[in-house]
Structure 1
Amino acid sequence: MLSSRQDKATRRYFWFGIIGAALFIILQILPSASGIFGQTEQGQPVSREQALESASTFAQQRFHALPQNSRAVHQADRQMTGYLAKEKLIKTFDSGAGRKVPVDLWQVTQNFEDGRRVIVDIGMTTGRVVGWQQLLGPAGGEMQTMELQGPDLDKAVQQEADSLGLGLLKRIDGDENTGSSVRYEATAITISEARLLVTAAGESSAAGSLLTGFQPQYEAPAAYNAYTEEQDRIGASLSLFGNLLPSGILLILAVIYAIVMRRYTSFRRGWALSLVFLTFYAINNFNMLDGLRALYGHEVNSELVVTAQLVFMMIMTVIMALSAYFSLVAGDGLWRAQGRILWTAGSEPSYGSEAWSSMKLAYVFTFIILGLQTIILGGLSVATGAWSTTDVTQSPYNTAAMWLIPLLAWCAAIQEEAVYRLFGTGLLMKWLKNPFIAALIPNIIWALGHVTYPIYPSTTRLIELTIIGMLFSFIFLRYGFFTAVFTHAIMNTVLMSVSLFLSGQPLELLAGVVYIFAPVAVAWLMRRYGAKRSAQPYAPV
């Protein structure tokens, strides 16, 4: 009986899970908590409300008006953050240039009654204004303005630089302003081969001179930028041809085999899991809208662009839900046709006991894999110099509700285990009769779907996740679909809950604890459901 084998495995692997948990906590959690990993500023971030207040004070002082409405999102300098991580300059930066112009900001977009739109950058931990840009000017009015140019612009810009402690600025766009903005270099601030540039613009009228833009931004070395651009291109190509196209083919094959294998399974199978995926993923799409706003915030029609992106994401979510559903039906049929029941139905006698035993074993496997992942990433970092940077679209600060983030853990577990393990491996087992190859090919496809993550070189996640995917396949083939899904969900939940714990907020802390132990409640409900069903053989239709 599968549940008996699962219980024996729980006891056998228990201490390996303890070791894996210790490695994960010591090498990943503790450094994150102390601000060593993935952070480039010391101290806790100021709240969104504090950032909005600072931006409003600035608007009143600068434009003598308060905005009608404003929105704050987390913005980060992806290139500079990656460069600092690669060159191990984070501590040096934090104690120097980062105190004046940080790479993590609250970006506040303000809309005024006269049609003016201004973007104000607030230091994430300092709460001070470090830059701004007038994206849209007044829609009309009697005041006629001209571009501020030449020495008048230089003087105004230098005054702002002095107030921020940036030192002497050197104009680098030539002696004459040939466009609407001019660039300067802060000669006193250097971070290895990187430099700090300031883009500025202004207007002059009878009422006086006014800067309409003052934006300090770091420029990573050209060689670093060229390398990351090439890696991004490689990652995009690998994702398209290695994951998206094969996954589309798998969806078509899943529809075909769901029909072909209908004598071994039922179209009633999988609808509940697919609905959970669709619901949770749709919630995540809306929850992460501020990430899109951070990405497109400097577009004049940013909200229109964000809305278009949301519509596209919802369409893709529906397609992914359909892929999960047909993969569940077809995968179940394929394995049953080969004489193996890897996904127990609710009407089968062992459903409840297997769900409960799977959950317990999954916690053990979760920490084993987390420990191995820590070793793999550490080894790749030594071997290839791998490093990571920021992605504002996935920032926990760009969520409507941070405590909703771990819902995505269940989405990945359901959809990916259905498509790449239950169906993908089942299909190739039917074709190739070789378990290793049948598992390896879908896992490479799955891993290629993660190469566009902000980790360099772009092949880092391909290597890491191919190895981890093979571990998931071992779990699936030996201990069943429930164990694989629970392991995948718990592992992702732990990783996603770290940001909740590091936030220090009571609601997020409580949510993190609830999410980590939620699989126990799910398995308990499945066991109760199985106990209530009459113990009769599963009747395929």
Structure 2
Amino acid sequence: MPNKGSRPPLWLAVIGLLLYFGLSYLAPLFQDHNDLDGEAQAAPAISKAEAADLAIAFADHKFGLSPGRTADTLFQSNTVRSGYIQKEGLEEEYRNRFEKRYPIDYYEVEIRDGQATYYIGVNFNNRQVISYSASKAPTAKTEARPAAETDASSIAVSAVRDMGFDPAAFTLAGSAADKRPPGEFVFVSKTERIGEAPLELHVQTANGQAVSFRPAFPPPESFTLWQQMQDERSALMTRISLFASLLMALAALILVVRQRKQIDFARGALLSIVFLAIYVSNNYNLMPAFRTMHGSGPSEPDAVLYLWISNIYVALMALSSYFALVAGSRLTLDRGERPWAVWRDADFAGQVKQAMSSGYVIALFILGIQQALFFAATELFDVWAVNDPTDSVYNMLHPEWFPLLAWSAAISEEAVYRVLGVSLMLKLTRRPFVAVLVPSVIWAMSHTQYPVYPVYTRLVEVSVIGIVFGYAYLRYGFLTALFAHAAMDSILMGFSLMYSGDDRQAAVGLAYFFAPAVVGWLLHRLHGRFKPRSPSNPPLRHP
């Protein structure tokens, strides 16, 4: 029987630190380019408020705004363009030729003025307006126009000129073959392209004026089909993971109902409530991120609907986590082991303190392993990732709340895939490796929807991490796996704040590196002061 009182050797943490910092130092020597995605991207040079002022001035000049207009600034990213230039190894060329005028990442200001909504793209590095669109065509301005500029094509040409481009450097593409709606024009550059993607200027006209302007580098069809195939594989793996997780949840429910007289229903309740509270708070924190998925009209109504749907889903996840913890603790007793310590146990303080320190050892080891996997994937399999505006700290109401999500991830994923998943597979197979491997693969499949390509590399990476977590659970117990997961995610999410370009956020991000240690220390101290009057280390119970 594994000795749950033992500690992982410190050399695991040493190996993890050496791998992490060693490969972080070596990576730039092997990579010629990694500046266009993820954390390497430069922080915005202007604030959201400054971007809003620039956008309002532009929209007021072009369309005319009422005094009652309101504006919100979102962080956006040209994810498809970023993916194409990374897959084809064109980052350096794009950075040198196009990044200043056509940034991958930019601010998008949403202006609401009565029944009309305007989206103004602002380059946050040089304060230039790069795109605009109106959801409801404003009434045409009344100033006199030359006769030659009264038709839609002439208006589109004027819009191109007004945005600082020379129409003579572009060819007006035909509209019949592309089946574009009336009033939409595409100007294709005669000289500017990146790889097989030419520069295009998309202009929409209505009511005698241009109501939309957008520069684009549409990738070739071969890339579009490849990415579509990757996304379909990711969606399939996500569905498989969801189905398998539902089967585990059903098994947990059946076990709880059948053995309800032997079930400790209080165990896991507090953790599930903590998960729910943090995750719901995070959903509200992500309201700006939800708004980035807007259509042509105002973004807030759809974002509110998405928020409520997300909260319902999270409530179901909390319920699933609770039943996973309850059923998993029963399965732990059935195999002759004591479940994790809870507050009413006399040794809770000591168990938490040990789990916290052991968890950091495991977390540092996993961070090193993950860095090695990233390095190998990038160098051997041409792996790349794109920014996701829906997961960016720039699209959060309170970025400093973000790393708290580490605890929600740790609670739910360790409950479902370790306490329940590993215990179920042990009961079915009696083989520890299979019991650890199968839930790890199911867990990894649910992570393939992240914008990392090719998608199978994410499956391999998270499966390996899951195996480490699984053995940590079997060898050192649930609390150690919980603290290890929370510490690893707190550090990674803390890095997101440190790269935000805000000194205060950077300090908060650094503090989150030690948040799980603080939680463990506080629980240890509080339990030592207010510990139960009578010890309650229950003997093993069997039905």
TM-score (norm 2): 0.90
The reply on whether 1:179 has 2:178 as its aligned counterpart is: no
SS at structure 2 position matched to 1:295? coil
Question: Offset at 1:235?
Answer: 0.8
SS in 2 for 1:503: coil
- Shift, 1:174, TM fit: 4.6
Equivalent position SS for 1:106: strand
Amino acid across the alignment from 1:196: L
Find the counterpart in structure 2 of residue 234 from structure 1. Answer: 233
> Which residue of structure 1 aligns with residue 376 of structure 2?
379
Tell me if the contact between 2:112 and 2:298 (Cα under 8 Å) persists in the aligned partners.
no
2:286 aligned partner: 288
What is the aligned counterpart of 2:203 among 187, 200, 204?
200
Q: Give the C-alpha shift of residue 4 in structure 1.
A: 5.1
**Cα pair distance change 1:348/1:500, threshold 3 Å:** same
Output the CA distance in 2 between the equivalents of 1:463 and 1:39. 22
Aligned to 2:474: 477
**Match in the other structure for 1:389:** 386
Equivalent residue number for residue 54 of structure 1: 54
Q: Describe the shift of the 1:397–1:211 C-alpha distance in structure 2 as closer, same or farther (beyond 3 A).
A: same
Contact 2:283 2:311 in 1 (8 A): yes
Contact 2:10 2:361 in 1 (8 A): no
Structure 1 counterpart SS, 2:489? helix
SS in 1 for 2:94: helix
The verdict on how the C-alpha distance between 1:362 and 1:152 changes in structure 2, with shifts beyond 3 A counting, is same
Alignment coverage as a number of residue pairs: 531
> Larger deviation: 325-334 or 9-18?
9-18
SS in structure 2 of the partner of residue 406 of structure 1: helix
Q: Secondary structure at the match of 1:60?
A: helix
Question: Distance between the aligned counterparts of 1:87 and 1:433, measured in 2?
Answer: 47
1:439 aligns with 2:436: yes
Aligned counterparts of 1:123 and 1:180: Cα–Cα separation in 2: 26
The residue matched to 2:135 in structure 1 has which SS?
A: strand
Task: Verify: 1:191 aligned to 2:182, yes or no.
Answer: no
Kindly tell me: are residues 325 and 28 of structure 1, through their superposed partners in 2, closer, same or farther at Cα, counting changes over 3 Å? Answer: farther
- C-alpha distance after superposition, 1:241-281 (max 9, x if no partner): x2111111211211222233445541011111001100110
Give the structure 2 partner of residue 156 of structure 1: 158
Q: Which residue in 2 is equivalent to 1:63?
A: 63
Paired residue for 2:246?
Answer: 248
1:387 partner letter:
W
Separation (CA, whole Å) in 1 of partners of 2:129 and 2:20: 42
Structure 1 residue runs of 5 or longer lacking an equivalent are none
Distance 1:309 1:84 in 2: 31
After superposition, the Cα gap between the structure-2 partners of 1:449 and 1:42, relative to the gap in structure 1 and judged at 3 Å, is: closer
Name the CA distance, whole Å, in 2 between partners of 1:95 and 1:11: 46
Counterpart AA for 1:350: D
Q: Structure 2: how far apart are the matches of 1:219 and 1:194?
A: 5
CA deviations 1:511-541 (Å, max 9, x no partner) are 2133221112211232234432232322779
Give the direction of change, closer, same or farther, for the CA distance of 1:165–1:96 in structure 2 (3 Å limit): farther
> Is the 2:110–2:117 contact (alpha carbons within 8 Å) kept by the matching residues of 1?
yes
State the Cα distance separating 1:415 from its structure 2 match. 0.1
8 Å CA contact 1:349–1:535 kept in 2: the answer is yes
Residue 365 of structure 2 is aligned to residue 352 of structure 1: no
Aligned to 1:527: 524
Partners of 1:420 and 1:446 within 8 A in 2? yes
Distance 1:201 1:465, change over 3 A: same
Cα deviations by residue, 1:76-112 (Å, 9 ceiling, x for unpaired):
1111111122223222212211111112121111122
CA root-mean-square deviation? 3.1
Distance 1:178-1:81 versus aligned 2 partners, 3 A rule? closer
1:409 is aligned to: 406
Q: Distance in 2 between matches of 1:416 and 1:144?
A: 65
CA 400–29 in structure 1, closer or farther in 2 if over 3 Å, else same: farther
Deviation at 1:178, TM superposition (A): 6.2
2: distance between equivalents of 1:466 and 1:79? 27
Contact preservation (8 Å) 1:100, 1:164: no
How far apart, CA to CA, are the structure 2 residues paired with 1:29 and 1:516?
24
Alpha-carbon distance between aligned partners in 2 of 1:361 and 1:166, rounded to the nearest angstrom: 65
Distance in structure 1 (CA, Å) of the matches to 2:331 and 2:140 = 68
Distance 1:203 1:14, change over 3 A: closer
Structure 1 residues 227 and 40 mapped into 2: Cα distance closer, same or farther (>3 Å)? farther
Q: CA distance change for structure 1 residues 261 and 379 in 2, over 3 Å: closer, same or farther? A: farther
Q: 1:164 to 1:342 in 2, by over 3 A?
A: farther
Give the whole-Å Cα distance in 1 for the aligned partners of 2:151 and 2:366. 60
- Deviation string for 1:182-227 (max 9, x for gaps)? 111123321111122111123465xxxx322111122112111110
Q: Which residue in the other structure is 2:461 paired with?
A: 464
* Letter of the 1:160 counterpart: D
Inter-CA distance 155–365: structure 2 relative to 1 (3 Å threshold): same
